[in-house]
Every structure is written in C-alpha cells, then in structure tokens.
C-alpha cells in the first residue's frame, strides 16, 4: 500500500513511535505533550495507522506492542515529494527560488546548498 498523508494526530503518534522504535499504547501516551489525549484516542489512532499499513504489532495476549513499518526518512521523502508536486511543479529550482525570494535562506545556507549540489554532481 502506498504511503498516504497523515493527519496531524497520526503524524504525532508516528513521531513518538519512530523515537521509541516500539512501544505499547501507554508508552506512546507517556511521550505525548500535555494536555495528553485519552488512552482510547491514542489506541484508536494507532489502529488507524495499522490499517494504513504504517504500524505493525507483536501480540502478547490481549496487549499489543506497536512498531513503525516505515521509517521517518521514508515519510519525509513522501512529504517532500508531495510538497514539490503540489506547490512547485516538481521543480527544485522553483522551491529554492521561493525560499531565496522569501529571504529565509541566508548566504551561508545558500553556500552550503551549492556545496551539496556540487558534491552530488561529482558522485
């Protein structure tokens, strides 16, 4: 099943699971910021993530230990591809141009980007 965009709540749970590597609902709940959602809410979101084939589990009787089936890097790549497709016509030039025009890229960062691009080109 292809990766689909996560809701804010789903992404928050995935971030905790990526950090923990594996855990029970109570472990995930313990890592969430205040105000903490209800235990049942976290459990429901994890089951949704399981149906989306993003989370797997190991059963210990009636309790389940959950773990991510995709890496944070895989999801980051998916999100970046979505951003590029939806807002920048899959053009890296348009993406970088946006940040340069918005003045959110410093000269040092621009220099680092050029170095990275040159390094990639040399490989």
Instruction: Give domain limits for the chain.
Output: 8-68, 72-122
Could you tell me the fold of the domain covering 8-68?
Arc Repressor Mutant, subunit A (1.10.10)
Find all residues with CB under 8 Å of 113, minimum gap 6, and list them.
Answer: 96, 105
Mean pLDDT of 10-35: 97
| pLDDT band at 1; cut points 50, 70, 90 | low
Structure letter (DSSP) for residue 64: E
8 Å CB contact between 65 and 12:
no
Quick check: 20 pLDDT over 90? yes
The percentage of residues in the chain with a pLDDT greater than 90, rounded to a whole number, is 58
Digit-coded pLDDT (tens) for 86-123: 888 988 788 878 877 877 777 788 788 888 878 877 77
The reported pTM is 0.77
Cα distance between residue 43 and residue 90, in whole Å: 36
Q: pLDDT per residue over 28-87, tens digit each? A: 999 999 999 999 999 999 999 999 999 999 999 999 999 999 999 999 999 988 888 888
């Amino acid at each position: 099943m292809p990766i689909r965009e996560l809701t804010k709540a789903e992404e928050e749970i995935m971030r905790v699971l990526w950090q923990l590597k594996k855990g029970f609902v109570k472990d995930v709940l313990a890592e969430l910021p205040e105000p903490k959602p209800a235990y049942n809410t976290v459990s429901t979101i994890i089951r949704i993530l399981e149906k989306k084939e993003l989370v797997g589990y190991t059963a210990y009787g009636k309790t389940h230990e959950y773990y991510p089936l995709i890496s944070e890097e895989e999801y980051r790549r998916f999100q970046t591809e979505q951003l590029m497709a939806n807002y920048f016509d899959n053009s890296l030039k348009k993406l970088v141009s946006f940040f340069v025009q918005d003045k959110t890229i410093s000269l040092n960062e621009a220099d680092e980007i050029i170095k990275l691009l040159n390094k990639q080109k040399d490989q």
